[in-house]
Amino acid sequence: MLRNAFRLHRWGWIGYGVVLFASTYVQAGAFVQVAGTTAAGRAAFARSMTALAGQLSYILPRPFRLDTLDGYVQWRSYGPLALVVMIWAIAAAAGAVRGDEDKQLVDYWLAARVSRARLVASRLAAFGLAALLAAVLGVLGYLAGAAQYESVNLGGAAGKMLTLWLLMLTLFALCYLVAQFIASIRGAQAAGTAVVVVLYLLAVLGRTNHSFDGLSWVSPFTWYDATTVLAPGGSLDAAGVGLSVAVIALAGVLSVLAFARRDVRGPLFAFPQREVAAKEAAPSPLLGWPVARLLYRQRGIVAGWALITAAMAVYMVAIAHSVVDSAINLPGMREFLTHSSGGDPYRGFIAAFWFGIAQLLLAGFAVHLVSGWAADDTEGILTSVLSMPVHRWAVIGERAATALVGTAFVVAIGSLAAAGMAAGVGTTLDAAAVFRASWLLVPFVLTYSAVGAAVSADFPRAAVGLLGVLAFCSFLVYELAPLMKWPAWAANLSVQQLYGTPFLTGVFWNGLWGMLAVVVVGFGLATLLMQRREVGQ
Amino acid sequence: MNEAIRTEGLTKDYGLGRGLFDLDLEVRSGEVFGYLGPNGAGKTTTIRQLMGLAYPTRGSASVFGLDCHRQAVEVKRHVGYVPGEPPQFGGLRGREVIAYLGAMAGGVDPARVKSLCGRLQLDLSRRYREYSSGNKKKLLLVIAFMHRPELLILDEPTSGLDPLNQQEFYAMVREARQGGATVFLSSHVLSEVEHVCDRVGIIRTGRLVNISSMEQLHEIRVHRVEIEFAGDVPAEAIRRADGVDGVTVENHRVQCVVRGSFEPLMAAVARAHVVNLTSHEPSLEDTFLEYYSDPGKEEVAAAC
């Protein structure tokens, strides 16, 4: 049972293990590049980063000993990794409960006389093992990166690994418990996300204001942040470790009790269905039109990412003044914010932070769109569509048009939100530059979508994984190329590099042509592959 | 065009002896053709070739004279299809699935959809994920029938349907035939194809072994029968009855195998006091094993 359950996490631990390894490795190497090797330089760097950290508390923990490599890795790498592993824990828990039930694996196991308690324990143990392997890879990345420059803190790394592992397992156990209440896998994912995001926001409150410390101590993210053992002078927070273990055990026991009291594929509490007027409503007319019908089916994805993008745009514009005003007097930050921005630090901030984050968000949007196309294939919907008088090339054309329209919508909502917020707080944005940088996000997303379309046209089950790896490698190349002084052709392998910095420096035409070439080749290849392949196996 | 479906040497070789081999088949316009075979025999593989969802290793398939691969879109203008495995439309409501696929099919009359749903007692307001497997099958049947296609290709359409809805489905098939449509229906249940089919093709391990009329099919049909008597068992009369084999007697109970008609067995027990009689249709694979265990009968089948 444990072996079978662990097997279901194999791609998860490999994928996230690679991300953890790369993150700690890159940040360990980056520290020397950005902070220098002298004590004075590192102290100045730490001051500037500490000033910045207060404004980035939504993503980074409180800084501690940023004048050291170990402190920097703990803050810059292990900090955001909490967000990364959160996604894994949510998805894995919903899949372990509702995905397994949808695939009737649970029926099979229960029929094979596996008790419900043993099944829950096995799923927790299997994820624990997978998370441990990923966490070990994270430590190996730190060791490999840091050992090139200075002596490594093996004990501290083990301590941080322990807390990261406990964080993953705690979030998984909580989401596993939440999934007992909701019958569908998407509902379980949404409910798990809601719970984890609330816990995360509580931790963020604690980071920004000490008066919230009492409240934030219910959050596993706070327990995780509290361990600073990797940095010199840091400590392992025994209370946080103890609380994590207790929550894992409690959530496990409650999951067993809940699972024992509900039907397989049923929620913990089932209520008689009520008739509602909406159920009798006519189907949306959008379902009758090409492109509109696929947009309608993917409306949740488009609306969700539009909301996230708008919220992030509003937040970034809202904090622009305070971040810039507090950081501008620090020499390192002044250079960072005014470099290539014509001396305007606000432009520099918007370019570096907002459009940087927008690329990350929209790459996620592209992966999510492609996951829908791949699911259409594996769930038999493509077979149903192709049993109608529909050309195969039209399927790919519809996907391309959906990506185009959906991206334009998400980008427009994000830009309008940013512009509206800027007007509200009295920040003057260069409208032409915002427009330029915004519309170039459309070919940026289409580039990812085209690659995803090509992969999903022939290997739908691998599409999301491969596209995720591509997005990750693309960001990695973008980060590493200037640090490692890679040649331009290598740097241009990154989609981020092809996008360029249009807010500051105008359209990078070669990059734009490169993206358009990938779009044409990607969707063209997708059409060819779709034309040749067999469907419904 | 007198042929609705025609295949010539149609082969899909998956290796290791799996797939479909040298299928030569003609289905006439206006007939209901049963495509019978045990699990894994190649029924779905054949249907996927006809629907242009998979490509042949060699040979050809056509529907109403249109090549199933080069003219796949044209073919599907004439076809209604029920896949063997239901798709997963997740949170879409039944009526949304109908609207989505109906717009692609074209020419769907809402009154026709309403009528079909009424007959099959299908609630279109529910979300697809809330449907039982039987209701999913009903929705697929509505989708296949809703645009009144000239050819219905149905891959095990009654699996998951309760007996009442099976009867309604048989009625829908008969009506479609009366309306001039052709029906190609796969199944692994012999008794099912007897309800509606004019002819039956039998496929086994990827090869078409027999095409029969329904009368010829009765020769193949086998039943395991158990009869309980109040008094003496007319064992000798039963053993002498035509088409009855494997007779075993235990106390007042007889077990035997009946091929074809039941009349000789009924005549043999007519004078005895029968308390109980049960008849089971074995699986198609068992029927084949029974039937083809006699080489002479295989020759008969080949000659059909």
CA of A134 to nearest chain B CA: how many angstroms apart? 32
A103 in B contact zone (CB under 8 Å): no
B95 in A contact zone (CB under 8 Å): yes
CA of B122 to nearest chain A CA: how many angstroms apart? 14
Encoded tokens for A290: 């090409």
Given a cut of 70, whether residue A131 has pLDDT beyond it is yes
A278 in B contact zone (CB under 8 Å): no
Helix, coil or strand: residue B267:
helix
CA of B189 to nearest chain A CA: how many angstroms apart? 23
Cβ partners under 8 Å of residue A191, min gap 6: A178, A179, A181, A182
pLDDT band at residue A332 under the 50/70/90 scheme: low
Rounded Cα–Cα distance for residues A59 and B275 (Å): 80
pLDDT band at residue A315 under the 50/70/90 scheme: confident
Average pLDDT over residues A177-186: 87
How many Cβ atoms are within 10 Å of A355's Cβ, its own excluded? 23
Q: What does the pLDDT look like over A399-432, one tens digit per residue? A: 999 999 999 999 999 989 988 888 887 777 778 8
CA B200 to chain centre: 8
Cβ partners under 8 Å of residue B138, min gap 6: B120, B121, B122, B161, B165
A380 in B contact zone (CB under 8 Å): yes
DSSP for residue A112: T
Q: What does the pLDDT look like over A282-292, one tens digit per residue? A: 888 899 999 99
pLDDT band at residue B121 under the 50/70/90 scheme: very high
Q: What does the pLDDT look like over B161-172, one tens digit per residue? A: 999 999 999 999
Rounded Cα–Cα distance for residues A469 and B95 (Å): 38
Given a cut of 60, whether residue A276 has pLDDT beyond it is no
Cβ partners under 8 Å of residue A436, min gap 6: A502, A503, A506, A507
Rounded Cα–Cα distance for residues A12 and A92 (Å): 8
Question: What angle is formed at CA A255 by the lines to CA A253 and CA A257, rounded to 5 degrees?
Answer: 70
pLDDT band at residue A279 under the 50/70/90 scheme: low
Q: What does the pLDDT look like over A463-479, one tens digit per residue? A: 888 888 888 788 878 87
- Would you say the C-alpha torsion B62, B64, B65, B69 has a positive or negative sign? negative
What confidence score (pLDDT) does residue B286 get?
Answer: 67
| Contact residues on chain A for B85, CB-CB shorter than 8 A | 380, 536
CA B71 to chain centre: 27
What confidence score (pLDDT) does residue B295 get?
Answer: 44
What confidence score (pLDDT) does residue A463 get?
Answer: 87
E-strand spans in B205-268?
207-213, 222-229, 244-250, 253-259
What confidence score (pLDDT) does residue A409 get?
Answer: 96
Average pLDDT over residues A442-453: 96
Question: Which single residue is written with the structure tokens 């009295």?
Answer: A426
- Does A278 or A3 have the greater pLDDT score? A3
With a pLDDT cut of 70, the percent of chain A lying above it is: 92
| A479 closest CA partner among A341, A338, A326, A359 | A359
CA of A535 to nearest chain B CA: how many angstroms apart? 5
What confidence score (pLDDT) does residue A3 get?
Answer: 85
Rounded Cα–Cα distance for residues B272 and B229 (Å): 7
| A75 closest CA partner among A58, A53, A55 | A53
With a pLDDT cut of 70, the percent of chain B lying above it is: 92
Task: Identify which of A283, A297, A389 has the shortest CB distance to residue B73.
Answer: A389
* A contact test, residue of B78, B104, B117 with most A CBs within 10 A: B104
Task: Identify which of B55, B79, B104 has the shortest CB distance to residue A385.
Answer: B104
B16 in A contact zone (CB under 8 Å): no
Average pLDDT over residues A21-26: 91
What confidence score (pLDDT) does residue B241 get?
Answer: 92
Average pLDDT over residues B116-141: 92
B98 in A contact zone (CB under 8 Å): yes
Given a cut of 70, whether residue A453 has pLDDT beyond it is yes
CA of B226 to nearest chain A CA: how many angstroms apart? 32
What confidence score (pLDDT) does residue A138 get?
Answer: 95
User: Using the beta-carbon criterion (under 8 Å), do A391 and B105 form an inter-chain contact?
Assistant: no
Helices (H), A10-104: 10-35, 39-53, 69-72, 79-94, 100-102
SS3 content of chain B, % helix, strand, coil (to 5): 35, 30, 30
Rounded Cα–Cα distance for residues B59 and A92 (Å): 46
User: What does each C-alpha distance from A97 to A115, A169, A268 come to in angstroms?
Assistant: 15, 15, 12
- Does B79 or A49 have the greater pLDDT score? B79
User: Using the beta-carbon criterion (under 8 Å), do B90 and A288 form an inter-chain contact?
Assistant: no
Rounded Cα–Cα distance for residues A388 and A394 (Å): 12
Within the 52-71 window of chain B, which residues sit less than 8 Å (CB to CB) from chain A? 52-55
Q: What does the pLDDT look like over A491-523, one tens digit per residue? A: 888 998 999 888 878 889 999 999 999 999 999
User: Using the beta-carbon criterion (under 8 Å), do B85 and A380 form an inter-chain contact?
Assistant: yes
What confidence score (pLDDT) does residue A342 get?
Answer: 62
Helix, coil or strand: residue B8:
strand
A537 in B contact zone (CB under 8 Å): yes
| B158 closest CA partner among B175, B177, B172, B178 | B172
Average pLDDT over residues B72-84: 95
Q: Dihedrals φ, ψ of B67, to 5°?
A: -65, 130
Q: By the 8 A CB rule, do B165 and B118 touch?
A: no
What confidence score (pLDDT) does residue B294 get?
Answer: 46
Q: What does the pLDDT look like over B216-254, one tens digit per residue? A: 777 777 888 999 999 889 999 999 999 898 899 998 999
What confidence score (pLDDT) does residue A505 get?
Answer: 82
* B contact test, residue of A185, A291, A294, A388 with most B CBs within 10 A: A388
B190 in A contact zone (CB under 8 Å): no
Please report the ipTM that was assigned to this predicted complex: 0.82
Quickly list DSSP for A14-31. Answer: HHHHHHHHHHHHHHHHHH
Encoded tokens for A465: 């994984």
Query: B7: which strand partners?
Result: B25, B61
User: Using the beta-carbon criterion (under 8 Å), do B99 and A284 form an inter-chain contact?
Assistant: yes
Q: What does the pLDDT look like over A352-397, one tens digit per residue? A: 777 888 888 899 899 889 988 998 988 899 999 999 999 999 999 9
| Contact residues on chain A for B106, CB-CB shorter than 8 A | 389
Given a cut of 80, whether residue A220 has pLDDT beyond it is yes
Task: Identify which of A280, A384, A532 has the shortest CB distance to residue B87.
Answer: A384
User: Using the beta-carbon criterion (under 8 Å), do B99 and A386 form an inter-chain contact?
Assistant: no
Task: Identify which of B54, B83, B125 has the shortest CB distance to residue A280.
Answer: B125
What confidence score (pLDDT) does residue A60 get?
Answer: 83
Q: By the 8 A CB rule, do A2 and A452 touch?
A: no
What confidence score (pLDDT) does residue B293 get?
Answer: 52
> What is the count of residue pairs from A and B with beta carbons less than 8 Å apart?
87
* B contact test, residue of A280, A291, A294, A387 with most B CBs within 10 A: A387
Query: B222: which strand partners?
Result: B259
Rounded Cα–Cα distance for residues B204 and B283 (Å): 13
User: Using the beta-carbon criterion (under 8 Å), do A391 and B73 form an inter-chain contact?
Assistant: yes
Q: By the 8 A CB rule, do A26 and A480 touch?
A: yes
**B207-213 and B222-229 beta bridge pairing:** unpaired
Q: By the 8 A CB rule, do A75 and A60 touch?
A: yes
Task: Identify which of B81, B88, B96 has the shortest CB distance to residue A287.
Answer: B96
Encoded tokens for A197: 């995001």
User: Using the beta-carbon criterion (under 8 Å), do B79 and A387 form an inter-chain contact?
Assistant: yes
B15 in A contact zone (CB under 8 Å): no
**B3-15 and B18-28 beta bridge pairing:** antiparallel
Task: Identify which of A282, A293, A386 has the shortest CB distance to residue B103.
Answer: A293
What confidence score (pLDDT) does residue A517 get?
Answer: 97
Q: By the 8 A CB rule, do A93 and A199 touch?
A: no
CA of B112 to nearest chain A CA: how many angstroms apart? 16
What confidence score (pLDDT) does residue A252 get?
Answer: 96
Given a cut of 60, whether residue A4 has pLDDT beyond it is yes
For the sheet containing B32-36, what is the strand order?
B79-82, B151-155, B182-187, B32-36, B199-204, B207-213
pLDDT band at residue A335 under the 50/70/90 scheme: low
Q: By the 8 A CB rule, do A358 and A441 touch?
A: yes
Within the 495-534 window of chain A, which residues sit less than 8 Å (CB to CB) from chain B? 532, 534
| A394 closest CA partner among A517, A530, A288, A535 | A530
User: Using the beta-carbon criterion (under 8 Å), do B103 and A536 form an inter-chain contact?
Assistant: no
Rounded Cα–Cα distance for residues A161 and A474 (Å): 26
pLDDT band at residue B291 under the 50/70/90 scheme: low
What confidence score (pLDDT) does residue B81 get?
Answer: 96
pLDDT band at residue A101 under the 50/70/90 scheme: confident
| Contact residues on chain B for A283, CB-CB shorter than 8 A | 93, 95-96, 98-100
Residue of A nearest to B75 (CA): A389
